[in-house]
Amino acid sequence: MNESKLAGANYIVNFFNHINQLNSEYSKYQNYLLEIDAKYSGNIEALSDLEKDYISNLVQICRYYVSIVYIQYKSIYSVVDKLKESEKIEDLYNKINNTYLIEREQLKEFILEINKALVNDVMKDLLVSSKEIVGEIYGTRN
């Protein structure tokens, strides 16, 4: 198998895995903030140090995956001619990356925009054409 095709397929698989991980971390963040809000009715001073640390940890993890996904998105954008650059993604990334506490809506919007940018004919074509390679990565051939 062509090593560059294998590397490209691995990159795409890793990218989608990172998007899924970001989705998961967003859900944890969203659910925990809802739990805290229900428990303390918005009174942030009532949070224990452990709860504050956990929120901080969730924010750090979300920001980590936002950064990874954004960098991978920009890399894919640079080599796929039909993929249109999104100013909204750029703006949301900068907002998320430059604030301590990530607003839930901004994070959700970033995730939706990344998914929308990639769920188009270009990525569909890429995924279909790399089906054989992805099958070899996972040891399945259909």
Confidence (pLDDT) at 78: 78
Range with the lowest mean pLDDT among 14-18, 34-38, 117-121, 137-141?
137-141
Q: Render pLDDT for 32-47 as a digit per residue (tens, 0 to 9).
A: 999 999 999 978 889 9
Mean pLDDT of all residues in the chain? Answer: 84
**What's the pLDDT score for residue 33?**
93
- Give me the amino acid identity at 86: S
The pLDDT of residue 40 is 93
Q: Cβ distance 9 to 134 under 8 Å?
A: yes
**Residue of 75 and 64 predicted with greater confidence:** 64
CA distance 82 to 41: 47
- Give percent above pLDDT 70 in the chain: 79
